[in-house]
C-alpha cells in the first residue's frame, strides 16, 4: 500500500489533504457528504476575539473559474469555540482540527493564541491579511517587519505549532515568509485570497455590498503554485499550499512545488465530497509512477534551463 502519511510541525497527518479555513465551517455539515476521518485535517472557520456578524449581503459573487467573497469573518468568537465547539469536535471526529484566527492588534492575536493553546487543536493558523488598526489600517501581512514582530509576540503565548497564513497581495511573498520564519513561525500557509471586484453593468455598482472581495477557486491556482515554489526556496519551515484545488493532480502539483499539506477550499462548494475523488486521484498518480511514499514528491520541481 502507498503511504499517504505526512508529518507537519511534529503533528501526524494520515494524508496530506486538509481544508481551507472559511470554506468548511466547523466541519459538521460536510461530514454528511464524506466522513471527516477521510481528511488529514480540517481548518475551522476563522475566529476573532469577539463574536462577529459578518458583512451585509450580497457577500458572494461568482466569477469565471472562481468566486469573490466578502463574508467578513462571521463567527461565534474564540471563547465559544474553545469552550463548546472544539471539545465537541475532538469527541466526534478522528482528524486534526486546525484553528484559524484573525485580529486587529498584536495583543488580540496573542490573547487568542493563548486561549486556543489550551484546546485540543493540532495547529493554530494565523491570518495576517487583517487590518492593523495601530498602523493606519494596513494589513499586517504586507510589511515584513510587522509580520516578524507579530509572529514573535504571538509565539511567546502560543504553545501549539503556529502557522502564518500569507497574503498574495504583496510585492514579494518570499520576503513575508522569511519574516514569519524569523519571528519563530513553525510553518506557513498560502495563498490567501486575491483582492478582486465585480461590477453590475446595469446599476454600475459593485455586486458585493462591501465593494471588493477575496478571489478564490481554480482561477488563482497558477498564482498559488508559483508562490508556493518561491516560498519553498526561501524558507526551511514547512508549507501548506492552497488555491483552486479540484483534483488529485492539483494536490500533486502543489506538493511538487513544495507544499507538505494541501487544502481544499472553494471546490468543496461544487463537490462537497470531493475528498474521495481527490484521494483516489493521488493514489492513481502514485501507482502510475511507482511512488510508494507521498513524501518523495515534495519539492521535486525541476525548472527548465
E strands, the chain, where?
Answer: 6-8, 11-13, 17-19, 41-43, 60-63, 66-69, 96-101, 123-127, 162-165, 187-190, 194-196, 199-200, 205-206, 213-216, 239-242, 261-264
Three-state secondary structure call for residue 6: strand
Judging by beta carbons within 10 Å of its beta carbon (0-12, 13-18, 19+), is residue 183 exposed, middle or buried? Answer: buried
Catalytic residue among 9, 44, 130, 158: 130
Three-state secondary structure call for residue 99: strand
> Catalytic residue at 130?
yes
The CA distance from 125 to 61, in Å, is: 26
Three-state secondary structure call for residue 227: helix
DSSP, res 16: S
Q: Which of 85, 53, 48, 86 is nearest to 71 (CA)?
A: 53
Strand partners, 66: 63
Peptide bond into 191 cis (omega under 30): yes
Q: Catalytic residues, which ones? A: 130
Amino acid at each position: 500500500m502507498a503511504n499517504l502519511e505526512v508529518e507537519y510541525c511534529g503533528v501526524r497527518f494520515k494524508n496530506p489533504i486538509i481544508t481551507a479555513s472559511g470554506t468548511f465551517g466547523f466541519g459538521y455539515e460536510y461530514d454528511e457528504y464524506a466522513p471527516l476521518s477521510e481528511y488529514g485535517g480540517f481548518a475551522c472557520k476563522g475566529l476573532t476575539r469577539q463574536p462577529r456578524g459578518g458583512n451585509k449581503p450580497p457577500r458572494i459573487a461568482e466569477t469565471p473559474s472562481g468566486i469573490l467573497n466578502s463574508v467578513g469573518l462571521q463567527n461565534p468568537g474564540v471563547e465559544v469555540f474553545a469552550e463548546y465547539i472544539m471539545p465537541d469536535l475532538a469527541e466526534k471526529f478522528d482528524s486534526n482540527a486546525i484553528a484559524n484566527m484573525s485580529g486587529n492588534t498584536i495583543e488580540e492575536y496573542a490573547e487568542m493564541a493563548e486561549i486556543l493553546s489550551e484546546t485540543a487543536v493540532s495547529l493554530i493558523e494565523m491570518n495576517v491579511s487583517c487590518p492593523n488598526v495601530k498602523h493606519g489600517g494596513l494589513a499586517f501581512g504586507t510589511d515584513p517587519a510587522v509580520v516578524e514582530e507579530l509572529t514573535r509576540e504571538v509565539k511567546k503565548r502560543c504553545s501549539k505549532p503556529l502557522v502564518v497564513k500569507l497574503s498574495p497581495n504583496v510585492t514579494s511573498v518570499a520576503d513575508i515568509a522569511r519574516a514569519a520564519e524569523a519571528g519563530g513561525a513553525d510553518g506557513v500557509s498560502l495563498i490567501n485570497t486575491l483582492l478582486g471586484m465585480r461590477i453590475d453593468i446595469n446599476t454600475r455598482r459593485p455586486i458585493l455590498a462591501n465593494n471588493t472581495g477575496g478571489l478564490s477557486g481554480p482561477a488563482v491556482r497558477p498564482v498559488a503554485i508559483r508562490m508556493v515554489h518561491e516560498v519553498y526556496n526561501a524558507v526551511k519551515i514547512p508549507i501548506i499550499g492552497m488555491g483552486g484545488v479540484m483534483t488529485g493532480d492539483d494536490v500533486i502539483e502543489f506538493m511538487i512545488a513544495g507544499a507538505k499539506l494541501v487544502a481544499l477550499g472553494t471546490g468543496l462548494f461544487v463537490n462537497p465530497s470531493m475528498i474521495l475523488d481527490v484521494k483516489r486521484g493521488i493514489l492513481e498518480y502514485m501507482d502510475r509512477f511507482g511512488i510508494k511514499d507521498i513524501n518523495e514528491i515534495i519539492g521535486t520541481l525541476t525548472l527548465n534551463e
